[in-house]
Amino acid sequence: MENATASLFRARLVPGLILAAFGLLPVLAGLIDDTFIVFFAIRVMIFAIAAVSLALILGFGAMVSFGHAAYIGLGAYTVGILAENGVWEFYVSLPATLVVCGLFALVTGAISLKTRGVYFIMITLAFGQMAYYTATSLSAYGGDDGLTMWGRTEIFGSSMLSDRMTFYYVVFAVLVAVWWLCRTMVNSRFGRVLQGARQSEMRLQAIGIDPYAYRLAAYVIAGMIAGVAGALLANAAEFVSPAYMSWHRSGELIFMVVLGGLGSFSGAILGASGYLVLEEVLSHVTENWRLIFGPFLILVVLYGRGGLLGLITGGKRDG
Amino acid sequence: MSATLLAVQTLNGLQLGILLFLIAAGLTLVFGVMDFINLAHGVQYMLGAYLAVAAYGVTGSFWTAMLLALAGSLVVGLALELVVFRHLYDRDHLDQVLATFGVILFLGEAVKVIWGSSPLSLPVPDLLSGSIPISDGLLYPVYRIALIVAGLLIAALLYVLVTHTRVGMLVRAGATNAPMVSALGVNIRRLFMVVFGFGAMLAGFAGIMAAPILAVEPGMGDNLLILAFVVIVIGGIGSIRGAFLAALIIGLVDTIGRSAATDIARLVLPPAAANDVGPAIASMLIYILMAAVLFFRPSGLFPARAG
């Protein structure tokens, strides 16, 4: 019993520790005067936001979406294209991102969610590629080469996001907000229906609930959140590229969620951090880091049930 | 678009359709029989092309290179099955997707390490070099026509194999109800190895045939893999007939769409805008087609599994 209590305690502790780590990181980086760490952590947090949104549908709704990177790309392109046309204000670009990603998710989700299993994987992948190829053929906005933004999104005319620390804490605040939102949703009636549909669709239908609408709603929300991650990514890099939505990115996002531990949002954040740190370290060791990474991924799938979070908490999962 | 251009684009479309069919055939059988999603199938197509280039470098003969590359594709396919895929049959689709994604990362990078990132090419064999006139003043390469013919022959061979042999019967039965076939005393694992090895060879063959006309480069399988998925979704999982029909449809719609979209867009838009919008619409066409088919027939044109 003591073990179970201890692991439960650790499971509660993990989210707090992750938040504290990201919150304090710029201070520590400031002490050792390392700007790279701050840049890197911004990237980690942005992908963590996207991974959390994927964890919502993958971990709690059992929807294996292989086109999630498309929403990162759509969000980034919305911000980039608006900026190219002289619109920099966040109160235009943020709602625009949400609308664009929400609509794309609504249309493609309505079609894909009619299907199950392998079909769903292939169809989301195909729609993701559709977005990718459309971006590469946008010759007015850079096509294959991508689009450089000459600045960052403004907040009521102020270019405060250009300050590294301000931008860091804005991304941090978005991550915390998204995390809180997803946890709240999963623990609400909506979340219970979603998880119930994963366990037994028939039982839900028997008590008069049609899971399709709930799945679609979750799919749209996840798409919008990933779009926000894309908008932040465009600002962080001041560059927008079709590569953001390549299917390799979608695969990496799935891996982040699984690496961290399926069915947990702190797991998704841990997974995104673990993945990007590993990528960074391995790419310093060898240019051909994928030679090591590919087999590692296979081994994690075959033997690493529970992911990083399972490693820390001994298998217990939090929300 | 003139009639000659349409004729050429139709031939090009058939060619893409045939390549897609060769890739999709193996994929759809593996899906159908084992409910296994193999993302690495596109990498097997790429390996076929690279093995052919390497074998040609050693032997100097296209035909010997083709035989060696086919054997190589089979060996690589069976090795992958033995080392990785075999452990994934009982897992859910998520695990299968991720592990085969890992195989893609590894093999894609391995190809870069061995052969470099720059595109390679394979010369067209003497026997099939040159062009033939298909209408006044229009020449079409013999090799491309040979590719279409070879693909159609293989499709016919597959048809005979699947509908008129014992193995084919087991494959069809497996696609309809695999546990039942297993319960009737058929070694389903061995059946799957046969299907899998055959599929790997078909993908390798597609790569070999594509090598003289397309650039042999890392990532060449990615585009075709996703198109093959669209083909399978439209055709119905597990159905060779569906895959054949859908592959030709996708090949033709994509190729002709790309060459005609800008012209069509010009009818309703100013030229500058049409030049921007045309290609974007062209690249979306097949996905819109897929969405439309799914809307009316959620399990594809020829679903192998009832219900």
Q: What is the pLDDT of residue A18?
A: 85
Mean pLDDT (whole number) for A134-150: 85
Give the span between the Cα atoms of B5 and B149, in whole angstroms.
21
Helix H segments across B116-134? none
What are the chain A neighbours of B280 within 8 Å (beta carbons)?
A: 134, 137-138
| More reliable by pLDDT, A184 or A19 | A184
Q: Smallest CA–CA separation between B184 and chain A, in Å?
A: 26
Q: Do the Cβ atoms of B31 and A296 come within 8 Å?
A: no
Report how far residue A272's alpha carbon sits from residue A42's, in angstroms, rounded to the nearest whole number: 12
In the numeric block, the tokens 């996905």 are attached to B287
Q: Which of A134, A247, A291 sits opposite B283 (nearest CB)?
A: A134
**ipTM tops the 0.90 cut:** no
A-B Cβ pairs (cutoff 8 Å, strict): 125
Q: Which two tokens stand for residue A299?
A: 């081994």
Of A102 and B304, the one with more pLDDT: A102
Is B49 part of the contact surface with chain A (CB cutoff 8 Å)? no
CB contact under 8 A, B104 and A294: yes
Cβ within 8 Å, pair A251-B280:
no
Q: Give A311 to chain B, closest Cα distance, Å.
A: 19
**A319, pLDDT greater than 50:** no
- From CA B198, how far away is CA B77, in angstroms rounded? 9
Beta bridge partners of B120: B216
Q: Please tell me the distance in Å from A168's CA to the nearest CA on chain B.
A: 31
Contacts of residue A129 in chain B, CB cutoff 8 Å?
226, 287
Tell me which of A109-113, A227-231, B182-186, B229-233 is least confident.
B182-186
Q: How confident is the model at residue A72 (pLDDT cuts 50, 70, 90)?
A: very high
Q: Chain A neighbours among B 27-46 (CB < 8 Å)?
A: 31, 35, 37, 39
Cross-chain residue pair A114–B298, CB shorter than 8 Å: yes
**Which position has the token pair 């045309």?**
B278
**pLDDT on residue A318:** 43
B93 chain-A contacts, CB cut-off 8 A: 64, 117-118, 121
In the numeric block, which tokens belong to residue B2?
């003139």
The closest of B5, B1, B21, B3 to B210, measured between CA atoms, is B21
A-facing residues of B in 83-102 (CB < 8 A) are 84, 87-88, 91, 93-95, 97-99, 101-102
Rounded Cα distance, A157 and B217, in Å? 47
A155 DSSP assignment? B
The DSSP line for A177-213 is HHHHHHHHHHHSHHHHHHHHHHH-HHHHHHTT--HHH
**pLDDT higher than threshold 50 for residue A285:** yes
Residues of A with CB under 8 A from a CB of B: 58, 64, 66, 108, 111, 114-115, 117-119, 121-123, 125-127, 129-130, 133-134, 136-140, 247, 251, 254-255, 258, 288, 290-291, 293-298, 300-302
Q: How far apart are CA A303 and CA A98, in angstroms?
A: 38
pTM of the model: 0.89
For all residues of chain A together, what is the average pLDDT? 87
Q: Where do the domains of chain A lie?
A: 17-245
Q: By CA distance, what is A109's nearest residue in B?
A: B291
Token pair belonging to B205: 């063959």
At residue A79, the pLDDT reads 94
Nearest-CA distance from A3 to chain B in Å? 29
Structural contact between residues A282 and A30, judged by C-beta atoms closer than 8 angstroms: no
Nearest by Cα to B3 from B260, B245, B251: B260
Tens-digit pLDDT profile for residues A24-52: 888 887 777 777 888 899 999 999 999 99
Q: Is A297's CB within 8 Å of B101's CB?
A: yes
Cβ of B295 within 8 Å of Cβ of A111? The answer is yes
* Cα three-residue angle A113-A117-A118, rounded to 5 degrees: 110
B114 → chain A, closest CA residue: A288
Of the spans A104-108, A153-157, A280-284, B240-244, which averages the highest pLDDT?
A104-108
Q: What is the pLDDT of residue A1?
A: 45
A249-269 per-position pLDDT tens digit: 999 999 999 998 888 899 899
| CB-CB contact of A211 with A82 (8 Å) | no
pLDDT along chain B (307 residues), means of 10: 80 92 88 83 93 93 93 94 88 90 93 91 85 78 91 91 86 80 84 87 93 89 89 87 92 89 79 77 86 83 63
| Whether residue A317 has pLDDT greater than 70 | no
Q: For chain A, say whether B228 makes contact (Cβ under 8 Å).
A: no
Cβ–Cβ under 8 Å, residues A164 and A38 = yes
Q: Which domains does chain B have, with CATH numbers?
A: 3-296 (1.10.3470)
DSSP H/E element including A8: helix A2-31
- Model pLDDT, residue A171: 94
Q: What is the Cα–Cα distance from B164 to B101, expressed in whole angstroms?
A: 35
Judge contact between A126 and B287, C-beta under 8 A. Answer: yes
- CA of A161 vs chain B CAs: smallest distance (Å): 32
- With beta carbons under 8 A apart, name residues in chain B contacting A258: 94, 98
